[in-house]
Amino acid sequence: MFYYLNGIVSHLEANLAVIDCGGVGFACHTTSHTLSKITVGDKEKVFTYLNVKEDALDLYGFISLEELNLFRQLISVSGVGPKAALAILSTSSPANLALSIITGDERALTTAAGVGKKIAQRVILELKDKLAKGQTLFSGGAESYGGGGITIIPENKLSEATAALAVLGYSQSEIATALNGIDLEHLTLEQIIRETLKKMVK
């Protein structure tokens, strides 16, 4: 129903941002990460998700499509509702959270309020499997990048980096372009993702 809201931030409180659009204040449940990026009085665009229940319509808003995409992924996991998803997203940036899921770092997920080991394991199991299916951009190693002096890069490194970026909403062509020129052989997975994201946001 709503793709985004573009208006003045009129009020902020814990896990809530009110966006004034044409004199109507939309209350958006949100994360600590989004709250840290917006200020009362500023005009902001927040990407939204409308959760429809029998007795309520709850609107969720995020400063970026990356965060919204991760929210959608999280609430698709059995046993993870919007409240738990917000708690998980509040623990770190979308890029770091995606990396934690891809690499199976359940400790990073359990730092979220109300999220125990079982939920963290379920998130990793269900989302890692989804990312692994149909989102691997390269299957042939470093030769996919062309050029001379080819070095074979472990396939799983490329797969995991590509999957982490895909869950943030980037297209395969965007990922391929951004990965070009990155030192895939010597950088760690986390460094590859960070360097790629820096190129994408320029």
Give mean pLDDT, residues 15-22: 96
State residue 164's pLDDT score.
76
Contact in structure between 130 and 73 (CB atoms under 8 Å): yes
Q: How many degrees, rounded to 5, is the angle at CA 174 between CA 152 and CA 33?
A: 105
* Phi, psi for 15 (deg, rounded to 5): 60, 25
Alpha-carbon distance values, 186 to 138, 147, 163, 179 (Å) = 18, 17, 19, 14
Cα separation, 158 vs 193, in Å, equals: 10
Model confidence at 156: pLDDT above 70: no
State residue 80's pLDDT score.
94
State residue 15's pLDDT score.
93
Give mean pLDDT, residues 46-61: 91
Residue of 134 and 186 predicted with greater confidence: 186
CA-based torsion, 176, 181, 183, 185: positive or negative = positive
Q: Which residues of 74-99 are buried (b: 16+ CB within 10 A; e: fewer)?
A: bbebeebebebbbbbbbbbebbbbbb
pLDDT digits (tens, 9 = 90+) for 56-81: 899 999 999 889 988 998 999 999 99
Model confidence at 84: pLDDT above 90: yes
Model confidence at 183: pLDDT above 80: yes
Average pLDDT, the chain: 82
| Three-class secondary structure of residue 138 per DSSP | coil
Residue of 183 and 7 predicted with greater confidence: 7
Model confidence at 1: pLDDT above 70: no
Residue bearing tokens 């449940």:
29
User: Which spans in the chain are helix H?
Assistant: 32-35, 65-75, 82-89, 94-102, 106-109, 117-132, 155-167, 172-179, 189-200
Model confidence at 170: pLDDT above 70: yes
Give mean pLDDT, residues 176-192: 84
SS (H, E, C) 1-26: CCCEEEEEEEEEECCEEEEEECCEEE
pLDDT digits (tens, 9 = 90+) for 115-139: 999 999 999 998 876 654 433 323 3
The structure's pTM equals: 0.69
148 band by pLDDT with thresholds 50, 70 and 90: very low
Catalogue all structural domains in the chain, each as residue range(s) with its CATH number: 4-62 (2.40.50.140), 65-132 (1.10.150.20), 141-200 (1.10.8)
Model confidence at 153: pLDDT above 60: no
Q: What is the DSSP letter of 55?
A: S
State residue 55's pLDDT score.
83
Q: Which two tokens stand for residue 85?
A: 């998803």
198 band by pLDDT with thresholds 50, 70 and 90: confident
| Three-class secondary structure of residue 187 per DSSP | coil
Cα separation, 96 vs 25, in Å, equals: 31
β-pair partners for 57: 52
